[in-house]
Amino acid sequence: MSDPHIHSGTIREQLEEREKNSLSPYATLSAESKGRQFEEPDHPYRMPFQRDRERILHTKAFRRLKGKTQVFLAPKGDHYRTRLTHTLEVSQISRTVARALSLNEDLVEAIALGHDLGHTPFGHAGESVLNELYPDGFRHFEQSLRVVDELESTARRRGLNLTHEVRDGILHHSKGKVILLGRDGPMASTLEGRVVSICDAIAYINHDIEDAIRAGVIALADLPKDAIDLLGDTSSKRIGAMATGLISGSHDEVIDLVPDVKEALNSLRDYLYANLYPGEAINKEISKAKRILRGLYEYLTENPRGYIADFPEGDSLERKVVDRLAGMTDQYALQTYQKLFFPESWPA
């Protein structure tokens, strides 16, 4: 047991030394972070990325993820994924991969926990309609960064004042297709951020399949046979095979999957984009969700009093309305729409 009288400032130095000695030479060390937007003193025994993770975990935006559904909008069943369960699955898979590759687990976890904070109610349907309505466009990864930079706050200042590496990973978390599909484009600047971007895809591909099978929208036999034969016939097997393929395919400064696993993963991804996401059962509800958000956007831009705060200062009304709508849970959006547009019953 360590000496209880040890000077607390030494603890952080010991942790920094431990990282330096135990992590890969390509890992992002806490002591070598590019720092925060606003300078602040180091904590005596909590590392910078650890502090970022904890700041994200305690936000209202993180708690609201439990009320934002993933693919199946406002489901009645208890076992369908929400943005919160998706986030936790991404975090778990990412940490497993990071540990195997001797990368920085605190950084991976902070990025994973923050990556979807800017997602709208009603999944990508909400993102799509806000992108259509808002003149400057809407992209959930940019909104996630806005949440941590502007909309949430610490006791000291507006924004969470996260490190450069966590902010960069959040902004680029949806760039996994650059690696998966071999496209040109920006990626996260750290290997940890790239791990999260791939593990985000691993998580949603598998849990969307599982939820769709539960809903009776697809059957296991409908999925590409070669991919299932290679990766496995259960979500657990497939996640394990994909994570193993990512660990085996990554080396030095490269984060990638081995070729056969990447091909199988892309085959499942292509199937979902061709058959599940545009499917009639889902699109019927998506069209309703878009109608709700259009109605709310139009009403709140015309009648902001009581709904839109003056904060943040300097932002346009449209920007504030988008922030308000993007922060809503599915049920809160439904309740607000009902309150604004449905007639109230007179008491007996």
* Assigned CATH for 48-341: 1.10.3210.10
Which of 156-165, 219-228, 230-239 bottoms out in mean pLDDT, i.e. has the lowest? 156-165
Residues ≥6 apart with Cβ < 8 Å to 184? 178
Residues ≥6 apart with Cβ < 8 Å to 57? 113
The model's pLDDT over 324-344, given as tens digits with 9 standing for 90+, comes to: 999 999 999 999 999 999 998
pLDDT computed for residue 6 by the predictor: 46
The model's pLDDT over 299-316, given as tens digits with 9 standing for 90+, comes to: 999 999 989 987 778 899
Q: Is residue 92 within 8 Å of 105, Cβ to Cβ?
A: no
Extents of the domains making up the chain: 48-341
Residue 69 predicted with pLDDT over 90: no
Q: Is residue 307 within 8 Å of 324, Cβ to Cβ?
A: yes
Q: Model's pTM, two decimal places?
A: 0.94
pLDDT computed for residue 154 by the predictor: 81
pLDDT computed for residue 74 by the predictor: 62
Residue 3 predicted with pLDDT over 70: no
Give the tokens for residue 18.
């431990």
